[in-house]
Homo-oligomer: A and B are copies of this chain.
């Protein structure tokens, strides 16, 4: 297994990649969510929007979390259009979203040509409660395919995930649990290639390598690109990775 990391803007780098070189696009774009007013959403850093005021951690902000909803849909649709071009027939796109941006994500996916085939909730047991009603403790993975689902594969994946956010060793505010990502990357055939245009700290890549898929990542921020590089390099030199047997 091998990986490639590009440092730069997602859309710019995508346009340079070759047609039909990718089997699955799995990514977690900035949600541009958080806050009731436009200025709350666009005028604050991710840390200010998403972090408890008494939290002691010192994780870096990430860029691109300040679009309004209209330009968010257009931007995401354009990105997913490029991703569609790169993807082989029957390939998949898996896009993370919170509850607020769900409809926008579904729209963008379909505007880009993907066939929307499902939604998989990811439940986070440690979400904040909400006084006066129902808490919102799920994020969502929107699933699109290029053309139709490949029904010839003997593959049965869950429709729902539950896992806590990484706490120890966390390096990104929105870091995803590797155990969830390991399930998701299986939508890519073994030995195929997974693309993540918003690599962040690289959990998608880590999962891809552990599950025997190649990985191509793109990350704008130097800080996170370096962190992802380090984590991915560490994966290739893990001597226990041959111990990972076939999933039951």
Q: Interface code A128-157, partner B: CB below 8 Å = 1, 0 otherwise?
A: 011111111110000101000111111111
Contacting A107 at CB < 8 Å: which of B103, B138, B145? B103
Binds B, one of A4-12, A118-126, A167-175, A230-238: A118-126
Chain B residues with CB under 8 A of A99:
118-119
Number of interface residues of A (CB under 8 A): 38
Q: Are A151 and B136 in contact (CB under 8 A)?
A: no
Q: Interface code A91-109, partner B: CB below 8 Å = 1, 0 otherwise?
A: 0100000010011001100
Q: Which B-chain residue is minimally distant from A145 (CB atoms)?
A: B133
Contacting A136 at CB < 8 Å: which of B103, B118, B123? B118
Residues on A lying within 8 angstroms of B by beta carbon are: 92, 99, 102-103, 106-107, 117-121, 123, 127, 129-138, 143, 145, 149-160, 187
Additional A-B contacts beyond A102-B119, A137-B160 (17; CB < 8 A): A92-B133, A117-B133, A118-B133, A118-B136, A119-B138, A121-B160, A123-B160, A131-B151, A131-B156, A132-B151, A133-B143, A133-B149, A134-B159, A134-B187, A135-B157, A136-B159, A137-B158
Q: List 25 A-B contacts (CB under 8 A).
A: A99-B119, A103-B106, A103-B107, A118-B136, A119-B138, A120-B134, A120-B138, A121-B121, A121-B123, A121-B160, A129-B156, A131-B155, A131-B156, A132-B149, A132-B151, A132-B152, A133-B149, A133-B187, A134-B157, A134-B158, A135-B158, A136-B159, A137-B159, A137-B160, A138-B160
